[in-house]
Structure 1
Amino acid sequence: MKTEQKTTSTSLLHSLTCSVCKQSYPASELQTLSACCQMPLLASYTLDEPLSKAALCHREATMWRYHELLPVIQKENIVSLGEGFTPILQLHTLAGRYGFRELLLKDEGQNPTGSFKARGLSMAVSKAKEFGVKGCIIPTAGNAGVAMAAYCARAGMKAVVVMPRHTPKAFREECYWYGAEVHLVDGLINDCAAKAKALNADEALLDVSTLKEPYRLEGKKTMGYEIAEQLSWQLPDVILYPAGGGTGLIGIWKAFHELKSIGWLAPDVQLPRMVAVQATNCMPLVETFFGRQQNAQQYIGQSTIANGLAVPRPIGEQLMLQVLFESGGTAVSVSEEEMVRGMQELSRSEGLFVAPEGAALWMACRNLLDSGLIQPEEQVLLLNTGSGQKYMENVEGKY
């Protein structure tokens, strides 16, 4: 499926680099995992050209406002539903109750299709369109499949979604409405990945699994750009992120470094400590981070009400660990019962019906405050990844 793309417009995309051995690959050809190490490829940009923050004042309030630092070459190939530039909300009630100086929440549930997955799949489908791809396939815990189905429908492309049979009905039904072909599998997302590979044995479809192509990451990194811009080019002391596949965690960290490179973040701006939050039912990164296993390649996870956290063997494990160690952050897990309590507290105290993944962040934040790993005077940002609406089946009657 090696195809060439047209000549450049405003994107500063330069090349793709293997995340392990740093071998370079041409961005002008459709790429998946690196041929050298079979690991994720990272997009590189020509960051020495002057870019003005002032130009942002006149641009649309979507993730595409940062188009120079995004990989789509021709504007007509952008497949958009208005994703990005989600609000950062002050959690005044909870901050006062627990003694935080400033507690913030970036609400990705306000994206199209109800989650942050809209960013990555908008980008992946746009690049697929740019390369002339006719259809995409994805193994998913729920939200990514919905987003891919929507953007493929927008682009006029075939969509094949493979999800666990226990995925809440709302996710499955939405995929059907977008015209996707849906396959249900007994197991978790790693079992869905095996099924997707078998279904796509002829490679007629582009597999847009987490980090198995380079561009979902580029959509997700725009959360980092927005956090910086919305906070007047300063950064929080701590960012908590629900890490299943970890694309957003990796992407946000990548974005901060890119902003430093182009001078949009001052040299003296301190990068935040990044905290990866997982479910106690499925916490491979936590186990590796604390040295209880060498890596997650043999980890056995269980299902969780936070469907997006049920990723037992993430291909981006080493990249996530790199972010945590570089930032001086940590990895923590939260129980199912704590997630429900977090959903209750955010709903009743702040009027926010967040996904269980988002609730896990709040409970992790409370626990880290109690343990002294977060200080009351620090500015803390929670990144809620989606709306709680689609998880009703998982939490029915638990309010």
Structure 2
Amino acid sequence: MPFSYLSHLYCPKCQKPYASTEIRQLCVCGSPLLADYDLQALKKEWTPGSLKGRSPDLWRYHELLPLSDPGNIVTLGEGMTPLLPMKRLGSDMGIERLLMKDEGVIPTGSFKARGAAVGVSKAKELGVKELAMPTNGNAGAAWALYAARAGIRASIVMPVEAPLITRKECAISGANLNLVNGLIGDAGKMVAQAVKERGLFDASTLKEPYRIEGKKTMGLEIAEQLNWRLPDVILYPTGGGVGLIGIYKALKELAALGWVQRDKFPRLVAVQAAGCAPIVKAWEERKSESEFWADSRTAAFGINVPKALGDFLVLEAVYETEGCAIAVDDAELLEEQARIARLEGAFVCPEGAAAFSAARKLRESSWIKSGETVVALNTGSGIKYPDTVRADAPVLNPGDRIPPA
């Protein structure tokens, strides 16, 4: 069996095919490109039993990943994150079977490591020497660190308000780090200029086709961890939306292989912050693309994306699974973050807290029904966002008694 069953790249808008053996960015029509696999051939060779005994990381699914030579794998041990029952929180919400896919324990502290692992590995295989990307923080940190491991130079541009720890991760990796007094869109314009002038590889969200392949492994893992019985609902904090697009892509590929049933797909929920909710607005208006969201602001900085390049793919995933898009305000998500820590001992990132807050609201409205299995994605560790938590505590002198709780 080949290591990968990657067939080619294609444009989801105009269907134009591209070879996967050369460096590719966007389609000539401006759309992101997606990876396609020879699923009919793979179906004859590959079964769930084939995974038995494989390493507990995302590379266990290498047949459905784009790397042709395992010698080009760049890894820090990413993948196979826990799917944890949240019994006390679920009871508080009225969701009997609430689960958390916890990406906070992955290398670099966020799910961005998945996209970086596969994206950087494929860049290495294609001979990329230097990459550039804009970031809200965690993606830049992950790509900078994985690029360092691969021996690839990285230029990273992030807003000055990005989480401080992500800036330090980029700096310590040796990346060419620059800050912009603006939002990720402003960073993107700077990267586009550098790409044009210096011929760098553009690793911006969905401007290369392989980050999504790393992100889709979240969907593959959820299916495997539930013994190929899919949940009823998956909630995903959505900025650029690559994770949601990837999860839907994984489900479709598993269905084509016959490992899951198409009519059992979970309803996918795109969760956004009220201060930046272009996908929600588009969904409410039944549009296929979103509009730029002016003056965006939220404590969940990772989903502060005013206009996503792949918005049409996010909305397609939501529509085709009969899901929905929902916004939560900062006060709600920060309250949920604290509640999760108190009830479950999990310090989730604000974006992950938004997903749980959305689950609460959807259960209250009965959109989530009694008895349904619900998976919420926590996309990163709360430790990376220390400013979202106040820690006021009394100062005691030696010999003082500890006051009662």
Shared fold (TM-score, shorter chain, > 0.5): yes
TM, length-normalised to structure 2 = 0.93
Of 350-359 and 388-397, the range deviating more from structure 2: 388-397
Are residue 11 (structure 1) and residue 8 (structure 2) matched? Answer: no
Of 329-338 and 203-212, the range deviating more from structure 2: 203-212
Are residue 160 (structure 1) and residue 152 (structure 2) matched? Answer: no
Tell me which of 39, 44, 50 is aligned to 2:31. Answer: 39
Q: Number of residue pairs matched?
A: 390
Match of 1:257 in 2: 252
2:318 partner SS: helix
- Contact in 2 for aligned 1:235/1:269 (Cα 8 Å): no
Tell me which of 355, 358, 364 is aligned to 1:370. Answer: 364
Tell me which of 171, 195, 212 is aligned to 2:166. Answer: 171
Structure 1 residues 294 and 42: alpha-carbon distance in aligned structure 2, compared to 1, 3 A threshold: closer
The Cα shift of 1:136 comes to: 1.1
Are residue 353 (structure 1) and residue 340 (structure 2) matched? Answer: no
- Contact in 2 for aligned 1:246/1:316 (Cα 8 Å): yes
2:10 partner SS: strand
Could you tell me which amino acid in structure 2 is paired with residue 63 of structure 1? L
Could you tell me which amino acid in structure 2 is paired with residue 14 of structure 1? S
What is the RMSD of the two structures over their aligned residues, measured on CA atoms?
A: 1.6
- Find the aligned partners of 1:59 and 1:349 in 2 and give their Cα distance: 34
Q: How does 1:43-62 map to 2 (within 5 A)?
A: 43-49=35-41, 50=44, 51-62=46-57
- Find the aligned partners of 1:251 and 1:320 in 2 and give their Cα distance: 9
Q: How does 1:235-246 map to 2 (within 5 A)?
A: 235-246=230-241
Are residue 27 (structure 1) and residue 27 (structure 2) matched? Answer: no
Match of 2:399 in 1: none
Match of 1:337 in 2: 331
- Contact in 1 for aligned 2:81/2:103 (Cα 8 Å): yes
- 1:65-97 per-residue CA deviation (whole Å, 9 max, x = no partner) reads 000110001111111111110000000111222
Could you tell me which amino acid in structure 2 is paired with residue 94 of structure 1? L
Q: How does 1:130-149 map to 2 (within 5 A)?
A: 130-149=125-144
- 1:129-184 per-residue CA deviation (whole Å, 9 max, x = no partner) reads 00111011110001000000110010011011100011121111111111111111
- 1:89-142 per-residue CA deviation (whole Å, 9 max, x = no partner) reads 000111222322200000011110000000001111111100111011110001
- Find the aligned partners of 1:268 and 1:200 in 2 and give their Cα distance: 40
Match of 2:298 in 1: 304
Give unmatched runs, 5+ long, in structure 1.
Answer: 1-7
Structure 1 residues 105 and 300: alpha-carbon distance in aligned structure 2, compared to 1, 3 A threshold: same
Greater gyration radius: 2
- Contact in 1 for aligned 2:10/2:35 (Cα 8 Å): yes
Are residue 382 (structure 1) and residue 360 (structure 2) matched? Answer: no
Are residue 207 (structure 1) and residue 217 (structure 2) matched? Answer: no
Of 74-83 and 289-298, the range deviating more from structure 2: 289-298
The Cα shift of 1:202 comes to: 2.5
Structure 1 residues 180 and 349: alpha-carbon distance in aligned structure 2, compared to 1, 3 A threshold: same
- Find the aligned partners of 1:398 and 1:113 in 2 and give their Cα distance: 28
- Find the aligned partners of 2:340 and 2:367 in 1 and give their Cα distance: 22
- Find the aligned partners of 1:215 and 1:171 in 2 and give their Cα distance: 22
1:383 partner SS: strand
- 1:182-219 per-residue CA deviation (whole Å, 9 max, x = no partner) reads 11111111111001112333343211111111000000
Tell me which of 37, 47, 58 is aligned to 1:63. Answer: 58
- Find the aligned partners of 1:120 and 1:90 in 2 and give their Cα distance: 25
Could you tell me which amino acid in structure 1 is paired with residue 11 of structure 2? C
Give unmatched runs, 5+ long, in structure 2.
Answer: 394-405
Structure 1 residues 150 and 192: alpha-carbon distance in aligned structure 2, compared to 1, 3 A threshold: same
Could you tell me which amino acid in structure 2 is paired with residue 34 of structure 1? C
Could you tell me which amino acid in structure 2 is paired with residue 44 of structure 1? D
- Find the aligned partners of 1:123 and 1:294 in 2 and give their Cα distance: 29
The Cα shift of 1:237 comes to: 0.2
- Contact in 2 for aligned 1:9/1:74 (Cα 8 Å): no
- Find the aligned partners of 2:391 and 2:191 in 1 and give their Cα distance: 34
Could you tell me which amino acid in structure 2 is paired with residue 176 of structure 1? A
Match of 1:5 in 2: none
Tell me which of 86, 90, 93 is aligned to 1:95. Answer: 90
Of 199-208 and 79-88, the range deviating more from structure 2: 199-208
Structure 1 residues 90 and 48: alpha-carbon distance in aligned structure 2, compared to 1, 3 A threshold: same
Match of 1:3 in 2: none
Structure 1 residues 69 and 293: alpha-carbon distance in aligned structure 2, compared to 1, 3 A threshold: closer
- Find the aligned partners of 1:186 and 1:135 in 2 and give their Cα distance: 24
- Contact in 1 for aligned 2:340/2:347 (Cα 8 Å): yes
Percent identity reads 48
Tell me which of 244, 250, 274 is aligned to 1:280. Answer: 274
Are residue 121 (structure 1) and residue 113 (structure 2) matched? Answer: no
Are residue 315 (structure 1) and residue 312 (structure 2) matched? Answer: no
Match of 1:4 in 2: none
Structure 1 residues 223 and 11: alpha-carbon distance in aligned structure 2, compared to 1, 3 A threshold: same
Match of 2:403 in 1: none
1:48 partner SS: helix
- 1:316-346 per-residue CA deviation (whole Å, 9 max, x = no partner) reads 1100110010000000001111111011011
Match of 1:291 in 2: 285
- Find the aligned partners of 1:205 and 1:393 in 2 and give their Cα distance: 34
- Find the aligned partners of 2:247 and 2:122 in 1 and give their Cα distance: 20
Could you tell me which amino acid in structure 2 is paired with residue 191 of structure 1? D
Could you tell me which amino acid in structure 1 is paired with residue 155 of structure 2? V
- Find the aligned partners of 1:293 and 1:232 in 2 and give their Cα distance: 35
Of 324-333 and 268-277, the range deviating more from structure 2: 268-277
2:36 partner SS: strand
- 1:228-278 per-residue CA deviation (whole Å, 9 max, x = no partner) reads 00000011100000010000100000101101111222x376000000000
The Cα shift of 1:293 comes to: 7.5
1:105 partner SS: strand
Of 209-218 and 191-200, the range deviating more from structure 2: 191-200
